[in-house]
Amino acid sequence: MASVSAPSAALAPRRPSASAALLFPYPYSSPRVSPSPTAQPRRLAVAARAMPWPHVLTVAGSDSGAGAGIQADIKASAALGAYCSSVITAVTAQNTVGVQGVHAVPEEFVGEQLRSVLSDMSVDVVKTGMLPSAGIVKVLCENLRKFPVKALVVDPVMVSTSGDTLSGPSTLATFRDELFPMADIVTPNVKEASKLLGDVSLQTISDMRSAAESIYKLGPKHVLVKGGDMPDSTDAIDVFFDGKEFIELRGLRIKTRNTHGTGCTLASCIAAELAKGATMLHAVEVAKKFVESALYHSKDRVIGNGPQGPFDHLFSLKSPLHKMGSLHKFNPDDLFLYAVTDSGMNKKWGRSIKDAVKAAIEGGATIVQLREKDTETREFLEAAKACVDICRSSGVPLLINDRIDVALACNADGVHVGQSDMPAWEVRELLGPGKIIGVSCKTPAQAEQAWKDGADYIGSGGVFPTTTKANNPTLGFEGLRAVCSASKLPVVAIGGINTGNAGSVMELGLPNLKGVAVVSALFDRECVATETRSLRSILMNACSRS
Ligand SMILES: Cc1ncc(COP(=O)(O)OP(=O)(O)O)c(N)n1
Ligand SMILES: Cc1nc(C(=O)O)sc1CCOP(=O)(O)O
Ligand SMILES: [Mg+2]
């Protein structure tokens, strides 16, 4: 190698870091030694080894509306950080109304595309979508035997979400006999599972389990039967089977017309995660959360006049704050014993926020809110982070009062806001679908608005006079009854509640009333754990009586 004497400091060219040199080998390599033509390929090979790029190859049809098919696969893989090459099996003319035409690519040319990609590019995972003929399935299987990959994800696309046929019955047998035995996972929805098994009726979760087991017997290593289309289900429940264990994966059912391409997207996300090295179950869980988040973020978008629109795979570019992996399903029963901290009271009794929260959980609090009105932001955030850890390890949700910024920074489970705080719909925009949002409501109209704004629960009070919150109007039992009766959301009662009167609140048996929220009766006391324990036992007795 040519030796280069060091230039003086003033004249020294700025040297890039080693990793930059590998990424951009020509302009940034040593300016004094120009690479010989024969050196160039070696430098490129080094760069490729240093920066592996998880690679999914999708073998599927093109959707001119770009909501499903190849277009969805490329967007989904890219969103999860994988490179996606594409072998096109058919060109479809479709939009939000339905499929107007299908033009299958000749199987020889599908074979040529497969050879081009598989012989040159290092593909980790192959994902299949629309395979319009038995001949194309056979060509694919031949190429997979010739060019083995880490994993094969098969989305057995047969009928589009609009009800149009995309693979005929002749293809079914080839799916079952040739493709499934090579697959690491097959991901039918209930309609596809039924077709694969000779039109069996699938109505219940137990039917989905039986279907998963029967499809497993056709040879794939894992099966995911997707229950999104099951009638009368409030959750989107999928059944995963690995040959030994059935796992029910529950997700939020997002109300939207924009569901075109969910199947393609889910399978591509599984493929992308596998390409990145995930285990199968983890890949499926990430994929499900991704689809849920994408549907949520696109639920009100409008493209086209038909009944089923596409959704936005690249939502995270616009809403980077939403932590996709932290979807938390709110359980209204968590409102039973709601402990709300108070910085003044903690200071008075010489305890940290963290110790106060620990003690409340020890005594049986079922949800905690940090209501720190006069703690400095930095100190509050530090304490909130510690409380998140404590609450997570006990399975108790932790909410932050008023401060959306602190809730985001500490990744709390949600926030509680009042009528003069940020409106709940704006909070929802910022926090995304997976966080809990509570809103204080003193009237039925406010309760109605909280529901429209996407809140999860309402806090209603003051049931009794309180000194904890200045100038707080007292609603009494009748005011609370009016709000509870009108509310479409679960309610927690607040204001002046203590061990002496909590029983009488719960014994009212009001509709939607799930529990009580308490500040001073827990935290303006010497022993927080003892007070919480007594209150819990009073609430339990009251509930067993009413
Ligand atoms: C559970 C619960 N309910 C009501 C409130 C009051 O919230 P808000 O009206 O915003 O008043 P402040 O707590 O911010 O003073 C609450 N915090 N929690
Ligand atoms: C924070 C708060 N909100 C109220 C409402 O009516 O919305 S009453 C209240 C204070 C509750 O404290 P304590 O349990 O000490 O009475
Ligand atoms: Mg507030």
ipTM associated with this complex: 0.98
Longest dimension (CA), the chain: 90
Indicate the SS3 state at residue 262.
helix
Q: Is the CB of 497 under 6 A from ligand 2?
A: yes
CATH architecture of 332-545: Alpha-Beta Barrel (3.20)
How many angstroms does the Cα of residue 416 sit away from the middle of ligand 1? 7
Residue 511: count of CB within 10 angstroms of its CB = 11
Annotation: CATH topology of 55-322: UDP-N-acetylmuramoyl-L-alanine:D-glutamate ligase (3.40.1190)
**pLDDT value for 285:** 87
Indicate the SS3 state at residue 342.
coil
Could you identify the atom of ligand 1 that is nearest to the CA of residue 492? 1
- Mutating to test ligand 1, I would choose from 336, 401, 436 the residue with most ligand atoms within 8 A of its C-beta, which is 401
Q: Is the CB of 441 under 6 A from ligand 2?
A: no
- Mutating to test ligand 1, I would choose from 400, 469, 522 the residue with most ligand atoms within 8 A of its C-beta, which is 469
**What's the rounded Cα separation, in Å, for the pair 480 and 509?**
11
**pLDDT value for 212:** 98
Give the residue range(s) of CATH 3.20.20.70 domains in the chain: 332-545
Give the residue range(s) of CATH 3.40.1190.20 domains in the chain: 55-322
**What's the rounded Cα separation, in Å, for the pair 456 and 141?**
49
Q: Which ligand is nearest to the CA of 459?
A: 1
Output the six-digit token pair for 517. Answer: 């929220």
Could you identify the atom of ligand 2 that is nearest to the CA of residue 523? 15
User: Is the whole model's pTM more than 0.80, yes or no?
Assistant: no
Distance of CA 330 to the CA centre of its chain: 14
Q: Is the CB of 71 under 6 A from ligand 2?
A: no
Residue 469 contacts residue 491 (beta carbons within 8 Å): no
Q: Is the CB of 345 under 6 A from ligand 2?
A: no
Pocket of ligand 1 (CB under 6 A): 338, 340, 369, 371, 401-402, 416-418, 421, 438, 440, 459, 469, 492, 494, 517
Q: Which residue has the tokens 């099966």?
A: 223
Host H or E run for residue 241: strand 235-241
Q: Which ligand is nearest to the CA of 531?
A: 2
Residue identifier of the C-alpha nearest atom 8 of ligand 2? 495
Q: Is the CB of 269 under 6 A from ligand 2?
A: no
What string of H, E and C letters represents the secondary structure of 151-172? EEEECCCCECCCCCECCCHHHH
Q: Which residue has the tokens 């009494």?
A: 476
pLDDT tens over the chain, length 546 residues: 333 333 333 333 322 233 322 222 222 222 333 333 343 444 444 444 467 799 999 999 999 999 999 999 999 999 999 999 999 999 999 999 989 999 999 999 999 999 999 999 999 999 999 999 999 999 999 999 999 999 999 999 987 666 666 777 778 889 999 999 999 999 999 999 999 999 999 999 999 999 999 999 999 999 999 998 776 555 678 999 999 999 999 877 788 888 899 999 999 999 999 999 999 998 998 898 889 889 888 888 899 998 889 999 998 776 655 554 444 568 899 999 999 999 899 999 999 999 999 999 999 999 999 999 989 999 999 999 999 999 988 989 999 999 999 999 998 999 999 999 999 999 988 887 678 999 999 999 999 999 988 899 999 999 999 999 999 999 999 999 999 999 999 999 999 999 999 999 999 999 999 999 999 999 999 999 999 999 999 999 999 877
Q: Which ligand is nearest to the CA of 371?
A: 1
Residue 175 phi, psi (nearest 5): -55, -55
Indicate the SS3 state at residue 339.
strand
Q: Which ligand is nearest to the CA of 462?
A: 2
How many angstroms does the Cα of residue 520 sit away from the middle of ligand 2? 9
Residue 515 contacts residue 539 (beta carbons within 8 Å): yes
- Mutating to test ligand 1, I would choose from 416, 421, 480, 513 the residue with most ligand atoms within 8 A of its C-beta, which is 416
